[in-house]
Amino acid sequence: MPNYGLASTTWGPEERLAIEGVLNSGNFTMGREVSNFESDFAKYFGSKHAVMVNSGSSANLLAVAALTLKRDKPLTINMEVIVPTISWATTYYPVHQYGMTLRFVDVTKKNLNIDIDLIKNAINQRTGAIFAVNLLGQSCELAQLRKLADENGIYLIEDNCESMGASVDGKYAGTWGDLGTFSFYFSHHINTIEGGMILTDDDELKDILISIRAHGWTRGLEKNNHVFNKTGDDWDDLFRFVLPGFNVRPMEIQGALGQTQLKKFDSFLQNRKKNHMHFIERFGEMDGVQIQLGTGTSSSFGFSIVLNDNLPVKRKQIIEKLTQNGIETRPIVAGNFLSNPVINRMSVVADENNPVADWVHTSGFFLGNHHFDIREKIDQAYEVISGTILNGKTL
């Protein structure tokens, strides 16, 4: 086992009690616990609506799906959706699955998030949305993205699965877009085993999400809604299918865990921020490396490090040394996603050169952050990396 791993459990006795409470209730499928967590989550982040699903990946899928089902200005097949060159696979797949083209835009060296200036050049008559990703706890330039989307009459979706608690100008990441998605997977800021959430202030989108989360039926909707008004006859209203939907409902255990974890989130976030500040103090001035610096306040999912091209040592040597010292690492998300063979199965528009994503792909890695004090672990990683670089220079 590594002595400095990527992630650790955030559970304690409270989570076990939450699970036991659900088991004792006999109600396991989506119900009151999920609804209560949705209410708590929306209130915490200052959003009008929260809709829980079974994973962050499903949250991204439903966010795209919901925009194709809007009555006015829906996303349609053959439109383009602007996406960053660096993200996880499930940012991109829903766009492809709904028959749209992925227009890739490179990221910036400063924060490894989508480059605003390049977006401006990428917007055209076919553009339907910007699918921005707040990478590894660092926000995009969200105020500028919101303004750019509004000026061009296109949608803004935030993949905020890695940045719960980050903010810009006092407004949380995940609430700037028409839709914002979150993940509660083990390694993320809070953990409900699997699970995800979608935030929106749009009443129609909320109703669409509720319907397509569970088969596209009217069950779960208010009598008067933006999808299909109910008759008041339960025999009809419980089994009326009106939208092409999915079955991505969460379970009551996940809803109960979410409520418990959200109560602890402030302390989790403060410790992550303290660790992040210590990381910046140690690595910010290290010769030969660049760290990720976001816009606004970070929630610090992990610590990105990218090696400069002129270093005498390469990533492989540093990763080997870190591994030998029990320090776990991973690529920065999926690196340049255009380098993955699955790209050949999707409709894609991309510049021939994406220098920042390529640089990250070949020279970047990240260390884990945790919800407790790991400053000694960060010091250990610093000594290993700086020592490896120094030895390389003296060879």
CA-to-CA dists, residue 10 to 2, 44, 56, 138, 198, angstroms: 18, 19, 18, 21, 22
What whole-number distance in Å separates Cα of residue 52 and Cα of residue 37? 8
Options 3.40.50.720, 3.90.1150.10, 3.40.50.170, 3.50.50.60; which CATH number does 265-394 get? Answer: 3.90.1150.10
pLDDT for 395: 46
In the numeric block, which tokens belong to residue 333?
A: 């998300």
Is 276 an annotated catalytic residue?
no
Q: Mind spelling out the 3-state secondary structure of 153-211?
A: CCEEEEECCCCCCCEECCEECCCCCCEEEEECCCCCCCCCCCCEEEEECCHHHHHHHHH
Q: Are strands 127-133 and 101-105 parallel, antiparallel or unpaired?
A: unpaired
Chain segment 158-175, per-residue pLDDT in tens: 999 999 999 999 999 999
Q: At 203, phi and psi to the nearest 5? A: -65, -40
pLDDT at 392 over 80: no
Chain segment 190-228, per-residue pLDDT in tens: 999 999 999 999 999 999 999 999 999 999 999 999 999
* DSSP letter (8 states) at residue 26: T
DSSP string spanning 270-306?
HHHHHHHHHHHHHHTT-TTEEE---BSB---SEEEEE
Under 8 Å between Cβ of 148 and 127: no
From 188, 215, 361, 370, the catalytic residue: 188
pLDDT tier at 1, thresholds 50, 70, 90: low
- Ranges of each domain in the chain: 13-259, 265-394
Domain 13-259 belongs to what topology? Aspartate Aminotransferase; domain 2 (3.40.640)
* DSSP letter (8 states) at residue 225: -
Whether 13-259 shares its CATH topology with 265-394 is answered no
Chain segment 96-142, per-residue pLDDT in tens: 999 999 999 999 999 999 999 999 999 999 999 999 999 999 999 99
In the numeric block, which tokens belong to residue 319?
A: 């990763």
User: pTM for this one?
Assistant: 0.97
Radius of gyration of the chain (CA): 22
Chain segment 324-383, per-residue pLDDT in tens: 999 999 999 999 999 999 999 999 999 999 999 999 999 999 999 999 999 999 999 999
